[in-house]
Amino acid sequence: MRIVVSGGGTGGHIYPALATVNRLKEREPKTEVLYIGGERGLEKDIVPKAGIDFKAVDVQGFDRAITLNNFKTVYLFLTATKNARKMLKDFKPDVVVGTGGYVSGPVLYAAQLLKIPTVIHEQNSVVGVTNKFLARKAKKVGVAFPDAIKAFKPGQAELVGNPRAQEVVQSTGEFVWAGLGLNADTPTVLVFGGSQGAPKLNAAMVDAMSEYNQADYQVVFATGKKRFDDVQKALKDHAVMPAGNVAVVPYISNMPELMPKVDLVVGRAGATSIAEQTALGKPMVLIPSPYVTNDHQTKNAQSLVDAQAADMVTEDVLSGTTLYQAVNQIMTDATLRADMAKHSKQLGVPDAADEFINLIENVLQ
């Protein structure tokens, strides 16, 4: 198979694409892949390091308000479509797959103009503008949330999960608890706000540190690399340093090894994180970011709350007290935690990469 993959801007679009490519190469080693990304997105660094052929087009998103900058956006889209057409003609793919982000717009649109089959992956419960546009002529759509199916034509979309989840589920590495000074046999809460950290989440953790210090469970608190020094200073200012059951770290490099071992995950409601946690069947306390397009993280989180797999604390009410109450209620009630884990597992698709690849292959039959 010859396949072009396009998606970028954020890790939420890039890592599902990479997981799909990696699994496809495991299944079909002779597969030839070209990744077309944006000149300004994270993919321009991440994809080549993964050993995948990469080409770039210049594209940007529309401003929500009517501005002169949108004229530039239209010009870049048309130019990127023209450049993508040439790349596709040169590579001659059997199928073009888009995982979202502005860059997938001109690439898949160019493929559709050339009558090359296109397949879309939608990670969120709310369908993005680019995928809505591309879905008009896409052969198939794979979704990670059942709620997204209704946004597409009848029979066009199928629930496949998020391909990134399969890499986490299949991780074989062992996590060394001694590195954190914690005990492998003690129930554990993992708290993290993404690679950059989440300031309000970090502040809430600092405010409630004395309560966590006295808990019968242990806590791994990843602040984000850029926020670690600020958190350390805030802890000193509050005169409340972590006790032996709390580990405060900048980041966790081996998250796929740690996540299967924890009993509760606290963090943002990004599509990739949720996919990983549901594939593993983890209860969650979700603090959706209010700074994302269409407030899709809140809608992602609400879908898990409705399924009794998660609790949600929105940023407008987030404090040390509200967060600790949510965490403590789950961690001190083993029955509740087990029920939430069961419901979370029911939402997960542990073999999501294979499911999505099967969808792609079916388009070519």
Q: Which residues are part of a known binding site for UDP-N-acetyl-alpha-D-glucosamine?
A: 10-12, 124, 195, 252, 297
Q: DSSP letter at 265?
A: E
Which residue in the block uniquely carries the two structure tokens 């879309």? 120
Task: Give the integer Cα–Cα distance in Å for 18 and 5.
Answer: 9
- Which tokens go with 294? 């269409």
* Binding-site residue ranges: 10-12, 124, 195, 252, 297
Helix (H) / strand (E) element for 12: namely helix 11-27
CA dihedral 341, 200, 324, 190 (to 10 degrees): 40
Neighbour count for residue 7 (Cβ, 10 Å)? 34
Distance in Å from the first CA to the final CA of the chain:
12
165, amino acid identity: A
120, amino acid identity: I
Neighbour count for residue 153 (Cβ, 10 Å)? 10
Which residue in the block uniquely carries the two structure tokens 């949108």? 70
Pair 54, 48: CB distance under 8 Å: yes
State the alpha helices, DSSP H only, in 191-333: 199-207, 209-213, 228-237, 255-258, 271-280, 296-306, 320-331
Pair 76, 84: CB distance under 8 Å: no
